[in-house]
């Protein structure tokens, strides 16, 4: 029995990730762990009560909705809370601690061009080396988006007699 880790992020992304994770879990008899990250204001707060943040009423309602969704699929779900300085590093650490086979994580956007793409690639490499599958639910880049490209034309073949 394996573990699928789903990061709780924005509502729309989490719902989509949870539906996909539930469908995947049902087909493979895995269980799901929902990871709630609690950002801390200072690194020294990690592991202390100052780093703990109680869930708001809105978060409780969303969590109940997520649990009802998983129940509809017939999937066992656990919820875990983790203090965090860096969301992606925390997801990577949680995947290691929980021995998750599959991870649904949201890569935060960046205002620096190509930083998001580089960050995503680095995270994917870490998961690949750990033999874990990462789903970010991002659309693949289209050719209309700016980016490095190269066009290769076929070479002419010369016929020698």
Round to whole Å and give the CA distance between 65 and 143: 37
Q: What is the pLDDT along the chain (161 residues), one digit of tens a residue?
A: 789 999 999 999 999 999 999 999 988 889 999 999 888 876 776 767 666 778 889 999 999 999 999 999 999 999 998 888 888 888 999 999 999 999 999 988 888 878 888 888 888 999 999 999 999 887 655 544 555 444 444 545 555 55
Exposure string over 141-158, b if 16+ CB within 10 A, otherwise e: eeeeeeeeeeeeeeeeee
pLDDT at site 152: 46
Looking at residue 153, its pLDDT comes to 47
Question: What's the pLDDT score for residue 51?
Answer: 65
**CA atoms of 93 and 84, how far apart (whole Å):** 10
User: What residues form DSSP beta bridges with 80?
Assistant: 35
Residue 101 near residue 70 (C-beta atoms within 8 A): no
Residue 90 is given by DSSP the state H
Give the model's pLDDT for residue 94. Answer: 92
Beta-carbon contacts of residue 84 (< 8 Å; ≥ 6 apart)? 37, 38, 39, 40, 90
CATH (residue range 3-135):
3.40.50.620
> According to the model, what pLDDT value does residue 118 have?
87
């Amino acid at each position: 029995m394996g573990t699928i880790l789903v990061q709780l992020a924005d509502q729309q992304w989490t719902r989509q990730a949870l539906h996909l994770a539930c469908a995947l879990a049902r087909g493979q008899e895995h269980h799901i762990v929902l990871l709630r990250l609690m950002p801390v204001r200072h690194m020294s707060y990690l592991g202390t009560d100052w780093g703990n943040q109680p869930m708001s009423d809105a978060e409780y309602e969303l969590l109940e909705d997520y649990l009802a969704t998983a129940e509809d699929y017939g999937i066992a779900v656990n919820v875990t809370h983790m203090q965090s300085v860096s969301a992606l590093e925390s997801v990577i650490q949680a995947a290691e601690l929980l021995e998750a086979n599959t991870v649904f994580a949201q890569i935060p956007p960046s205002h620096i061009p190509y930083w998001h793409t580089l960050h995503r690639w680095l995270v994917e490499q870490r998961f690949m080396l750990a033999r874990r599958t990462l789903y970010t639910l991002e659309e693949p880049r289209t050719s209309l988006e700016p980016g490095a490209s190269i066009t290769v034309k076929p070479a002419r073949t010369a016929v020698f007699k």
